[in-house]
Amino acid sequence: MKRENIIDALDMIDEELLNNAMDYREQKKARRFSFSKLAAIAAAAVLVISATVMTATATYRFEVDPQDANEAFAIAQHYIIQNAENRDPYNVMIAYGLEAWRYDESAEGKLSGLKPVVNLKFKVAGYSYDAVVDLNAGEVIRCDKKYDPNWDDYTEQESYSYAQIHTLISAGKSFDDIGGNINNADAMRILYDYFEINDSCANRFSYFVSEQSANGLGDSCESVTILLSYVHSGYIYSCRIDPVTGEVSDASTTEITDDIYSAKKHLHEHTDNPEFIGFIKACSLASEALGLPDKRDDFPSVLFYYSSQGNYFNGVDFIKPDDVEAFYHYTMRPSTGSNRVNVFLDAKTGEILKIEESDDNLKSNYEGFER
């Protein structure tokens, strides 16, 4: 049968069937909305994080539907991998300071499609990317890559996603850095296989978070276990992977029940070395020192890092005392329009190592922004 015939025959599909198909789609959409609200909130939270610190107004940022932003990011990720700019999907997945907004339609003048053209800015492995993604065509229109000499200077990229925080927790180390027999991509595949996750990193926003267990920091790879958590479609898939044998242990699947913070808490519950204070406690200590209500659930106004070695964080000079093994660094913005406050805590004792208030010239951006 000729192709033309089938095209013409399909044109004669009963209108009733077409209506039914469309109705069904709408019903699914309505149902999906209610079921996926939590996942959407989680995705939105990532954007909220971005929105708080960028130079334009927060409302402008929110013009992009989180789902569209996720889709655009996935397309950009895929593009980067396809173009051999970064073959390691693990690295591509961790976007630093992702921000997304609707492209300037009036400037382009022809963007009348169903979906927006999204402009994304993000950082991956030392490079800044500025990508424009057309969601109608599902393709990257433009993707500029620029080496970022200030990769370690996060003053302009305050909007850390959850993923990057945890990367910083591992003090800038990647799986490759810690030795053993597996690398980042292997770890990802092991987790995928274990949980039977079907994700070619081309669908939706997702990221890995990695953490060496606290007792492994600075030790040889034999004593290091890797905690890998993968946040995907409202679930966190976590497991420990032995970097030498690739063996999986402590596997769990957790639904993100309230918001993205549960993911954060979940990870910290796995930081099992009693020698170190947990994140929750550290956060409370920092809040107490500042005379603030406990802000741990008020992310993104609280940003935190954990390091065993760094001396320069977020534009604040900080020299780690020799007798301090590891420290937490928090950046807080206590209230709308206030200055940023940096707090450094000894990770073992909770002792305040340094508190510094800084005028970061960004506070005006918060005015009018409501969480």
Partner 1 sequence: MQDKEIVELFLKRDESAIQNAKSKYDRYLYKIAYNILGDRGDCEECLSDTYLGAWNSIPPQEPSVLQTYLAKLARRSAITILRKRTRDKRRASEYAVSLCELEECLPDNNTPEHEADLKLLADAVNGWLRTLSPDKQAAFIGRYYFSDSIRDIARHLGVSETKVKSMLYRLRADLKKHLEKEEIL
Examine residue 8 and tell whether it contacts partner 1 (CB under 8 A): yes
Min CB(28)–partner 1 separation in Å: 5
Which of 86, 183, 203, 284 lies at the binding interface for partner 1 (CB under 8 A)? 203
Instruction: Between 115 and 268, name the residue whose CB sits nearer to partner 1.
Output: 115
Q: Which of 3, 107, 110, 196 binds partner 1 (CB under 8 A)?
A: 110
120-159 residues in contact with partner 1 (CB under 8 A) are 136-138
Query: What does the block give as tokens for 364?
Result: 């005006």
Structure tokens at 158: 């305050």
Structure tokens belonging to residue 213 = 């267990």
Q: Which stretch binds partner 1 (CB under 8 A): 11-19, 305-313, 314-322, 350-358?
A: 11-19
Q: Which is nearer to partner 1, 231 or 353 (CB)?
A: 231
Query: Nearer Cβ to partner 1, position 198 or 311?
Result: 198
Q: Binding of partner 1 at residue 3 (CB under 8 A)?
A: no
DSSP state of 160: -
Please give the single-letter amino acid code of residue 367.
Answer: E
Tell which residue, 307, 305, 193, has the closest CA to residue 241.
Answer: 193
Q: Which of 15, 317, 322, 370 binds partner 1 (CB under 8 A)?
A: 15
Among 123, 102, 100, smallest CA distance to 113 is for: 102
Sign, CA torsion 269/273/279/283: positive
Rounded CA separation 205/73 (Å): 7
Closest alpha carbon to 243 in 325, 174, 326, 169: 174
Binding residue for partner 1, selected from 28, 37, 142, 146, defined by CB under 8 A: 28
Residue in 18, 56, 244, 319 binding partner 1, rule: CB under 8 A? 18
Least gap, CB of 263 to partner 1 (angstroms): 22
The stretch among 23-31, 210-218, 305-313, 336-344 that binds partner 1 (CB under 8 A) is 23-31
Tell whether residue 56 is a contact of partner 1 (CB under 8 A): no
Which residues inside 246-285 make contact with partner 1, applying CB under 8 A? none
Distance CA 40, CA 116 (A): 18
- With contact defined as beta carbons under 8 Å apart, do 256 and 236 qualify? yes
Task: Confirm if 79 and 131 have CB atoms less than 8 A apart.
Answer: yes
